Structure 1
Amino acid sequence: MARQLFHFDRPRRFVAGTVGEPGDRTFFLQAADDGRIVSVALEKQQVAVLADRLEQLLDEIVTRTGTALPASEPDTEALEIPIDEEFRVSAMALAWDGDTGLVVIEAQSAAEDPEVAEETLLEDVDDGPDALRVRIEPNRARAFVQRARLVLAAGRESCPLCGQPLDPAGHICPRQNGYHRAPTPAP
Protein backbone atom coordinates (compact mmCIF):
# COMPACT_ATOMS: atom_id res chain seq x y z
CA MET A 1 0.00 0.00 0.00
CA ALA A 2 1.19 3.54 -0.69
CA ARG A 3 2.67 5.18 2.37
CA GLN A 4 1.76 8.65 3.53
CA LEU A 5 4.72 10.21 5.34
CA PHE A 6 4.03 13.43 7.23
CA HIS A 7 7.50 14.97 7.53
CA PHE A 8 8.25 18.02 9.70
CA ASP A 9 11.77 19.44 9.80
CA ARG A 10 12.06 21.82 12.77
CA PRO A 11 8.31 22.45 13.01
CA ARG A 12 6.92 25.55 14.66
CA ARG A 13 5.29 23.26 17.23
CA PHE A 14 5.52 19.59 18.29
CA VAL A 15 3.60 18.57 21.42
CA ALA A 16 1.73 15.81 23.20
CA GLY A 17 -1.76 16.77 24.34
CA THR A 18 -5.22 15.50 25.15
CA VAL A 19 -8.85 16.03 24.33
CA GLY A 20 -11.54 15.13 26.86
CA GLU A 21 -11.99 14.88 30.59
CA PRO A 22 -9.64 12.90 32.87
CA GLY A 23 -10.65 9.27 32.69
CA ASP A 24 -12.00 9.75 29.17
CA ARG A 25 -9.10 11.49 27.40
CA THR A 26 -7.70 10.85 23.96
CA PHE A 27 -3.96 11.45 23.67
CA PHE A 28 -2.39 13.01 20.59
CA LEU A 29 0.97 13.92 19.15
CA GLN A 30 0.59 17.09 17.12
CA ALA A 31 3.02 18.77 14.73
CA ALA A 32 2.27 22.16 13.21
CA ASP A 33 4.11 24.25 10.66
CA ASP A 34 3.36 26.62 7.77
CA GLY A 35 -0.41 26.24 7.77
CA ARG A 36 -0.52 22.47 8.22
CA ILE A 37 -1.40 20.58 11.37
CA VAL A 38 -1.01 16.81 11.74
CA SER A 39 -2.44 15.00 14.76
CA VAL A 40 -2.00 11.30 15.49
CA ALA A 41 -3.72 9.45 18.34
CA LEU A 42 -1.88 7.23 20.77
CA GLU A 43 -2.27 5.64 24.19
CA LYS A 44 -1.35 7.35 27.45
CA GLN A 45 1.29 4.70 28.08
CA GLN A 46 2.85 5.41 24.68
CA VAL A 47 3.22 9.08 25.63
CA ALA A 48 4.90 8.05 28.89
CA VAL A 49 7.30 5.66 27.12
CA LEU A 50 8.12 8.27 24.46
CA ALA A 51 8.93 10.86 27.14
CA ASP A 52 11.09 8.36 29.08
CA ARG A 53 13.01 7.16 26.02
CA LEU A 54 13.47 10.68 24.71
CA GLU A 55 14.89 11.77 28.04
CA GLN A 56 17.27 8.78 28.03
CA LEU A 57 18.39 9.63 24.48
CA LEU A 58 19.07 13.25 25.43
CA ASP A 59 20.99 12.19 28.54
CA GLU A 60 23.09 9.83 26.41
CA ILE A 61 23.84 12.66 23.97
CA VAL A 62 25.03 14.82 26.88
CA THR A 63 27.21 11.97 28.18
CA ARG A 64 28.80 11.26 24.80
CA THR A 65 29.29 14.84 23.62
CA GLY A 66 29.88 16.55 26.95
CA THR A 67 27.58 19.33 25.80
CA ALA A 68 24.75 20.55 28.02
CA LEU A 69 21.34 20.51 26.38
CA PRO A 70 19.19 23.04 28.23
CA ALA A 71 15.45 22.91 27.77
CA SER A 72 13.18 25.60 26.48
CA GLU A 73 10.06 26.42 28.44
CA PRO A 74 7.40 23.74 27.84
CA ASP A 75 4.53 24.69 25.56
CA THR A 76 1.41 24.91 27.74
CA GLU A 77 -1.08 25.96 25.07
CA ALA A 78 -3.97 23.71 24.02
CA LEU A 79 -3.71 21.55 20.92
CA GLU A 80 -4.34 23.47 17.72
CA ILE A 81 -7.65 23.17 15.92
CA PRO A 82 -8.64 21.23 13.85
CA ILE A 83 -7.65 18.01 15.59
CA ASP A 84 -8.21 15.48 12.83
CA GLU A 85 -6.75 12.09 13.69
CA GLU A 86 -4.62 10.96 10.75
CA PHE A 87 -4.02 7.52 12.27
CA ARG A 88 -3.54 5.68 15.56
CA VAL A 89 0.09 5.07 16.50
CA SER A 90 1.24 1.48 16.61
CA ALA A 91 5.04 1.82 16.66
CA MET A 92 7.52 4.58 17.45
CA ALA A 93 11.21 5.14 16.90
CA LEU A 94 13.80 7.66 18.08
CA ALA A 95 17.15 8.56 16.58
CA TRP A 96 19.90 11.14 16.89
CA ASP A 97 21.12 12.73 13.66
CA GLY A 98 24.68 13.67 14.61
CA ASP A 99 25.28 15.45 11.30
CA THR A 100 22.51 17.99 11.87
CA GLY A 101 22.33 17.82 15.68
CA LEU A 102 18.61 16.99 15.58
CA VAL A 103 16.45 14.43 17.36
CA VAL A 104 14.30 12.34 15.02
CA ILE A 105 10.95 11.05 16.30
CA GLU A 106 8.75 8.81 14.20
CA ALA A 107 5.26 7.55 15.02
CA GLN A 108 3.84 4.94 12.67
CA SER A 109 0.39 3.48 12.11
CA ALA A 110 -0.32 -0.23 12.30
CA ALA A 111 0.93 -2.45 9.48
CA GLU A 112 -0.66 -5.63 8.23
CA ASP A 113 2.71 -7.37 8.40
CA PRO A 114 4.77 -6.67 11.57
CA GLU A 115 8.03 -7.33 9.69
CA VAL A 116 7.16 -4.61 7.16
CA ALA A 117 6.46 -2.18 10.01
CA GLU A 118 9.86 -2.84 11.57
CA GLU A 119 11.62 -2.41 8.23
CA THR A 120 9.92 0.93 7.46
CA LEU A 121 10.56 2.75 10.76
CA LEU A 122 12.83 5.75 10.08
CA GLU A 123 13.17 4.70 6.43
CA ASP A 124 12.13 6.60 3.31
CA VAL A 125 10.18 3.93 1.45
CA ASP A 126 7.16 4.21 -0.85
CA ASP A 127 5.15 1.33 0.62
CA GLY A 128 4.25 0.65 4.23
CA PRO A 129 2.24 2.12 7.07
CA ASP A 130 1.60 5.87 7.35
CA ALA A 131 4.00 7.76 9.58
CA LEU A 132 4.64 11.10 11.24
CA ARG A 133 8.35 11.99 11.28
CA VAL A 134 9.57 15.04 13.19
CA ARG A 135 13.10 16.42 13.44
CA ILE A 136 13.64 18.87 16.33
CA GLU A 137 16.44 20.54 18.25
CA PRO A 138 17.51 18.90 21.54
CA ASN A 139 16.26 21.82 23.69
CA ARG A 140 12.82 21.50 22.09
CA ALA A 141 12.94 17.74 22.73
CA ARG A 142 13.54 18.47 26.44
CA ALA A 143 10.59 20.88 26.38
CA PHE A 144 8.49 18.12 24.75
CA VAL A 145 9.40 15.77 27.62
CA GLN A 146 8.45 18.40 30.22
CA ARG A 147 5.07 19.02 28.58
CA ALA A 148 4.40 15.29 28.21
CA ARG A 149 4.99 14.83 31.94
CA LEU A 150 2.57 17.70 32.70
CA VAL A 151 -0.07 16.19 30.40
CA LEU A 152 0.32 12.75 32.02
CA ALA A 153 0.09 14.21 35.55
CA ALA A 154 -3.11 16.10 34.71
CA GLY A 155 -5.16 12.90 34.75
CA ARG A 156 -7.10 11.31 37.57
CA GLU A 157 -5.51 10.98 40.99
CA SER A 158 -4.23 7.55 41.96
CA CYS A 159 -5.56 5.52 44.86
CA PRO A 160 -2.98 5.70 47.67
CA LEU A 161 -3.45 1.99 48.38
CA CYS A 162 -3.47 0.29 44.97
CA GLY A 163 -2.30 2.98 42.57
CA GLN A 164 -5.28 2.60 40.23
CA PRO A 165 -6.96 5.80 39.00
CA LEU A 166 -9.76 7.17 41.16
CA ASP A 167 -13.06 7.92 39.47
CA PRO A 168 -15.04 10.91 40.73
CA ALA A 169 -17.36 8.46 42.50
CA GLY A 170 -14.47 6.49 44.02
CA HIS A 171 -13.49 2.96 43.05
CA ILE A 172 -13.49 -0.59 44.29
CA CYS A 173 -10.01 -0.99 45.70
CA PRO A 174 -8.53 -4.50 45.51
CA ARG A 175 -6.42 -3.69 48.59
CA GLN A 176 -9.67 -3.16 50.54
CA ASN A 177 -11.00 -6.63 49.62
CA GLY A 178 -13.51 -5.15 47.20
CA TYR A 179 -15.01 -2.56 49.52
CA HIS A 180 -16.00 0.65 47.76
CA ARG A 181 -13.51 3.39 48.56
CA ALA A 182 -15.04 6.87 48.61
CA PRO A 183 -12.92 9.70 47.22
CA THR A 184 -11.18 11.83 49.79
CA PRO A 185 -12.32 15.44 49.77
CA ALA A 186 -9.79 17.96 48.51
CA PRO A 187 -8.34 20.23 51.20
Structure 2
Amino acid sequence: MSQDDRWLTPEQAATLIRQRVGGSVGRSQGILGAARSSGEVRSRASADPVLLMADDGVVGMDMRPGAQNKGGVNSDGKPVVHHLSADASGARISEDDLLDWLARNHAAGAAITTVAPELSPHVRYTTDDELLAEMVQGLTEGRWPNKHQAAIAVAGRAEGSGTREATVRRLEGKVSKLLKTSRNISKD
Protein backbone atom coordinates (compact mmCIF):
# COMPACT_ATOMS: atom_id res chain seq x y z
CA MET A 1 0.00 0.00 0.00
CA SER A 2 1.46 3.28 -1.05
CA GLN A 3 1.05 6.54 0.78
CA ASP A 4 -0.79 7.96 -2.25
CA ASP A 5 -3.76 5.60 -1.95
CA ARG A 6 -6.97 7.33 -0.99
CA TRP A 7 -9.26 5.41 1.36
CA LEU A 8 -13.00 6.09 1.46
CA THR A 9 -15.61 5.38 4.10
CA PRO A 10 -18.50 3.19 2.90
CA GLU A 11 -20.71 6.28 2.71
CA GLN A 12 -18.17 8.14 0.56
CA ALA A 13 -17.76 5.09 -1.67
CA ALA A 14 -21.53 4.76 -2.13
CA THR A 15 -21.74 8.46 -3.01
CA LEU A 16 -18.94 8.04 -5.56
CA ILE A 17 -20.76 5.07 -7.13
CA ARG A 18 -24.01 7.02 -7.25
CA GLN A 19 -22.25 9.88 -9.05
CA ARG A 20 -20.61 7.53 -11.57
CA VAL A 21 -23.36 4.99 -12.22
CA GLY A 22 -26.53 6.74 -11.13
CA GLY A 23 -29.55 5.26 -9.41
CA SER A 24 -30.68 5.24 -5.83
CA VAL A 25 -28.67 5.09 -2.63
CA GLY A 26 -29.73 1.48 -2.15
CA ARG A 27 -28.55 0.57 -5.65
CA SER A 28 -25.17 2.21 -5.06
CA GLN A 29 -24.80 0.38 -1.75
CA GLY A 30 -25.64 -2.88 -3.51
CA ILE A 31 -22.98 -2.20 -6.15
CA LEU A 32 -20.50 -1.39 -3.38
CA GLY A 33 -21.31 -4.70 -1.71
CA ALA A 34 -20.73 -6.54 -5.00
CA ALA A 35 -17.44 -4.74 -5.51
CA ARG A 36 -16.22 -5.58 -2.02
CA SER A 37 -17.31 -9.19 -2.23
CA SER A 38 -15.57 -9.64 -5.60
CA GLY A 39 -12.21 -9.51 -3.85
CA GLU A 40 -10.93 -7.02 -6.42
CA VAL A 41 -11.44 -3.97 -4.24
CA ARG A 42 -9.18 -3.62 -1.23
CA SER A 43 -10.65 -2.59 2.07
CA ARG A 44 -9.08 -2.19 5.45
CA ALA A 45 -10.12 -1.43 8.96
CA SER A 46 -9.01 1.95 10.18
CA ALA A 47 -6.99 2.33 13.34
CA ASP A 48 -9.02 1.96 16.48
CA PRO A 49 -10.21 5.32 17.77
CA VAL A 50 -9.21 6.67 21.13
CA LEU A 51 -10.97 4.71 23.85
CA LEU A 52 -13.18 7.08 25.82
CA MET A 53 -14.67 5.58 28.93
CA ALA A 54 -17.31 6.95 31.24
CA ASP A 55 -15.34 6.50 34.46
CA ASP A 56 -15.90 8.90 37.33
CA GLY A 57 -12.99 7.45 39.24
CA VAL A 58 -15.10 6.12 42.12
CA VAL A 59 -14.92 2.51 40.96
CA GLY A 60 -11.84 1.12 39.26
CA MET A 61 -12.10 -0.20 35.72
CA ASP A 62 -10.40 -3.52 35.06
CA MET A 63 -9.17 -3.38 31.45
CA ARG A 64 -7.93 -6.97 31.26
CA PRO A 65 -9.45 -9.10 28.48
CA GLY A 66 -12.76 -10.58 29.54
CA ALA A 67 -13.12 -8.30 32.55
CA GLN A 68 -15.11 -5.57 30.79
CA ASN A 69 -18.86 -5.27 30.92
CA LYS A 70 -20.04 -7.26 27.87
CA GLY A 71 -23.23 -5.24 27.56
CA GLY A 72 -21.25 -2.04 27.13
CA VAL A 73 -23.40 -0.11 29.63
CA ASN A 74 -23.01 0.76 33.27
CA SER A 75 -25.59 0.26 36.00
CA ASP A 76 -27.31 3.52 34.98
CA GLY A 77 -27.71 2.29 31.40
CA LYS A 78 -25.15 4.71 29.99
CA PRO A 79 -22.59 3.43 27.45
CA VAL A 80 -19.20 2.61 28.91
CA VAL A 81 -17.31 3.04 25.61
CA HIS A 82 -18.03 5.80 23.09
CA HIS A 83 -17.13 5.59 19.41
CA LEU A 84 -15.69 8.73 17.88
CA SER A 85 -16.27 7.87 14.22
CA ALA A 86 -19.67 7.93 12.54
CA ASP A 87 -18.74 4.70 10.77
CA ALA A 88 -18.87 2.13 13.55
CA SER A 89 -17.13 -0.56 11.50
CA GLY A 90 -14.21 1.74 10.68
CA ALA A 91 -13.83 0.10 7.24
CA ARG A 92 -12.12 1.98 4.46
CA ILE A 93 -12.28 1.19 0.74
CA SER A 94 -9.56 1.89 -1.81
CA GLU A 95 -10.77 4.59 -4.19
CA ASP A 96 -8.44 3.48 -7.01
CA ASP A 97 -9.58 -0.14 -6.78
CA LEU A 98 -13.23 0.91 -6.67
CA LEU A 99 -12.91 3.17 -9.72
CA ASP A 100 -11.11 0.41 -11.64
CA TRP A 101 -13.79 -2.12 -10.71
CA LEU A 102 -16.56 0.30 -11.71
CA ALA A 103 -14.88 0.99 -15.07
CA ARG A 104 -14.79 -2.74 -15.83
CA ASN A 105 -18.19 -3.70 -14.46
CA HIS A 106 -20.39 -0.60 -14.77
CA ALA A 107 -19.93 1.87 -17.61
CA ALA A 108 -19.78 5.48 -16.44
CA GLY A 109 -23.13 7.16 -16.85
CA ALA A 110 -24.76 3.96 -18.09
CA ALA A 111 -28.50 3.87 -17.92
CA ILE A 112 -30.03 2.01 -15.02
CA THR A 113 -31.13 -1.40 -16.22
CA THR A 114 -33.94 -1.81 -13.74
CA VAL A 115 -36.79 0.36 -14.94
CA ALA A 116 -40.07 0.38 -13.08
CA PRO A 117 -42.96 -0.81 -15.21
CA GLU A 118 -45.42 1.83 -16.30
CA LEU A 119 -48.40 1.71 -14.00
CA SER A 120 -51.86 1.71 -15.47
CA PRO A 121 -55.11 2.28 -13.63
CA HIS A 122 -56.42 -0.91 -12.10
CA VAL A 123 -59.38 -2.16 -14.10
CA ARG A 124 -60.77 -5.51 -13.11
CA TYR A 125 -62.66 -7.73 -15.55
CA THR A 126 -62.86 -5.20 -18.35
CA THR A 127 -65.09 -7.37 -20.53
CA ASP A 128 -67.65 -8.10 -17.79
CA ASP A 129 -69.81 -5.15 -18.89
CA GLU A 130 -69.99 -6.45 -22.46
CA LEU A 131 -70.71 -9.98 -21.26
CA LEU A 132 -73.39 -8.76 -18.86
CA ALA A 133 -75.09 -6.81 -21.65
CA GLU A 134 -75.03 -9.97 -23.78
CA MET A 135 -76.45 -12.02 -20.90
CA VAL A 136 -79.29 -9.54 -20.27
CA GLN A 137 -80.13 -9.45 -23.98
CA GLY A 138 -80.03 -13.26 -24.24
CA LEU A 139 -82.24 -13.69 -21.16
CA THR A 140 -84.84 -11.19 -22.40
CA GLU A 141 -84.85 -12.78 -25.89
CA GLY A 142 -85.15 -16.28 -24.39
CA ARG A 143 -81.74 -17.55 -25.60
CA TRP A 144 -81.07 -18.97 -22.10
CA PRO A 145 -83.66 -20.22 -19.62
CA ASN A 146 -81.98 -18.67 -16.55
CA LYS A 147 -79.05 -16.57 -15.34
CA HIS A 148 -76.97 -19.59 -14.45
CA GLN A 149 -77.15 -20.97 -18.01
CA ALA A 150 -76.33 -17.51 -19.42
CA ALA A 151 -73.31 -17.22 -17.10
CA ILE A 152 -72.07 -20.68 -18.12
CA ALA A 153 -72.41 -19.73 -21.80
CA VAL A 154 -70.29 -16.56 -21.57
CA ALA A 155 -67.86 -17.53 -18.76
CA GLY A 156 -65.24 -18.81 -21.19
CA ARG A 157 -64.75 -15.28 -22.56
CA ALA A 158 -64.54 -13.54 -19.17
CA GLU A 159 -61.25 -12.18 -17.88
CA GLY A 160 -59.91 -13.08 -14.47
CA SER A 161 -57.70 -15.64 -12.80
CA GLY A 162 -60.36 -17.49 -10.83
CA THR A 163 -61.78 -20.91 -11.57
CA ARG A 164 -64.56 -21.36 -14.09
CA GLU A 165 -67.05 -21.95 -11.27
CA ALA A 166 -65.98 -18.72 -9.56
CA THR A 167 -66.34 -16.82 -12.84
CA VAL A 168 -69.85 -18.25 -13.36
CA ARG A 169 -70.84 -17.22 -9.80
CA ARG A 170 -69.39 -13.74 -10.31
CA LEU A 171 -71.23 -13.18 -13.60
CA GLU A 172 -74.45 -14.64 -12.24
CA GLY A 173 -74.26 -12.31 -9.22
CA LYS A 174 -73.60 -9.27 -11.38
CA VAL A 175 -76.46 -9.99 -13.77
CA SER A 176 -78.74 -10.51 -10.75
CA LYS A 177 -77.85 -7.03 -9.54
CA LEU A 178 -78.52 -5.63 -13.01
CA LEU A 179 -81.88 -7.35 -13.19
CA LYS A 180 -82.53 -6.77 -9.46
CA THR A 181 -83.49 -10.39 -8.94
CA SER A 182 -82.34 -13.18 -6.65
CA ARG A 183 -79.75 -15.67 -7.88
CA ASN A 184 -82.14 -18.53 -7.24
CA ILE A 185 -85.03 -17.24 -9.34
CA SER A 186 -84.89 -17.95 -13.03
CA LYS A 187 -86.33 -15.53 -15.56
CA ASP A 188 -88.94 -17.90 -17.02
TM-score by length of 1: 0.20
Tell which structure's C-alpha radius of gyration is larger: 2
The structure with higher relative contact order (CA 8 Å, sep 6+) is: 1
Q: More helix by proportion, 1 or 2? A: 2
TM-score by length of 2: 0.20
